[in-house]
């Protein structure tokens, strides 16, 4: 990744770890929002989203959890819901030059909003 360093020369390694995690979270949300999902496909969709996003630069791991309770109202095998932020709990683990960040998205009931935030940096 030496070639790109000239584009990130004004930020610290810590900031770069946060940046890479946040970019991945934004891409994940906007790419998969609206994907058809039901109880039968939730596990494979979680895995596919995680594995796809782990291909992003500096990403060590992506943990995706789809709220199964929200999928429980589907009445038959031909129905599905469209994935949305209220159904997701996601952690993106990024690392740049030994600096680690965890970027999180989860539905916050008191805000009535799927919030993306920096959960931890070390």
Other beta carbons within 10 Å of 1: 10
| pLDDT (tens digit per residue) in 6-18 | 888 899 999 999 9
Structure tokens at 36: 């058809």
**How high is the pLDDT of residue 73?**
75
| pLDDT value at 112 more than 90 | yes
pTM over 0.85: yes
**How high is the pLDDT of residue 84?**
95
C-alpha to C-alpha distances, 43 to 8, 50, 68, 70, 88, nearest whole angstrom: 36, 11, 10, 14, 12
**How high is the pLDDT of residue 6?**
84
| pLDDT (tens digit per residue) in 70-109 | 988 777 777 899 999 999 999 999 999 999 999 999 999 9
Number of residues written out for the chain? 122
Predicted confidence band of residue 116 (pLDDT cuts 50, 70, 90): very high
What domains can be seen in the chain, in order of their start residue?
2-121 (3.30.1300.20)
């Amino acid at each position: 990744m030496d070639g790109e360093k000239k584009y990130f020369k004004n930020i610290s390694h810590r900031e770069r770890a946060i940046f890479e995690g946040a970019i991945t979270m934004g891409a994940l949300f906007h790419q998969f929002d609206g994907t058809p999902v039901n109880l039968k496909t939730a596990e494979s969709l979680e895995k596919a989203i995680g594995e796809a996003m782990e291909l992003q630069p500096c990403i060590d791991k992506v943990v995706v959890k789809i709220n199964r309770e929200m999928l429980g109202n589907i009445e038959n095998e031909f129905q599905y819901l469209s994935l949305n932020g209220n159904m997701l709990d996601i952690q993106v683990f990024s690392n740049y030059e030994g600096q680690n960040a965890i970027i999180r998205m989860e539905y916050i009931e008191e805000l009535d909003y799927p919030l993306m935030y920096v959960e931890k940096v070390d």
